[in-house]
Amino acid sequence: MNDPRLVQLLAACGMAESELESLLTSSEDASPRYRALQNPKAADELACALAVEAARSTPNRVLIWAGVDDTLLAFVVARELECEVSVVWQSEGLLCCDPEIAVGDRVLIVSACFIETSRLEALRSLVALRGAAVAAVASLIETEVLRDGAGGEAQPLSLFRPRPDAR
């Protein structure tokens, strides 16, 4: 995909193309610099594009790990898909989710950039424990965690894919 407009929008939200390419080989200690509040218009356009990609998976709920940038991303994606958003966080070693995921929900797990395998696994496990299904796992930027962690029948979706020669 990686059209010039997409790269421009990501850069407007604080992510230079060189940083995007380095995410492909970065460890879980990587700290992406995507900042939705840096350019709300660009962030909105990116989220709308992600919603278009995710629409084929027909979710009825968007699920995120609590954080400002992912919350803003999920808000726009859910608005475009006419879904509810559930937010997950950890408190005293337990996963908390609000609002709860219902049995039978088709869940779209969303993050600006998945860099922590453990968080994606925790979100997927929570969906399964609630008797719901992961419809897709979507991110603005493709990473190894996204490709390897989507799992099962859930399709990994991303807008920016680092070039193969960056690996």
Q: What is the pLDDT of residues 132-142, one digit of tens each?
A: 999 999 999 88
Mean of per-residue pLDDT scores for the chain: 87
CATH 3.40.50.2020: does it fit domain 4-166? yes
Q: Tokens representing 127?
A: 């969906």
Q: Could you tell me if 59 and 99 are in contact, meaning their C-beta atoms sit under 8 angstroms apart?
A: no
Cβ contact 54:134 at 8 Å: no
- How far is 123 from 129, CA to CA, in rounded Å? 10
Q: Is the pLDDT of residue 31 over 60?
A: no
Beta pairing, strands 155-160 & 133-141:
parallel
* Residue-level pLDDT at 120: 95
Over 60: is that where the pLDDT of 1 sits? no
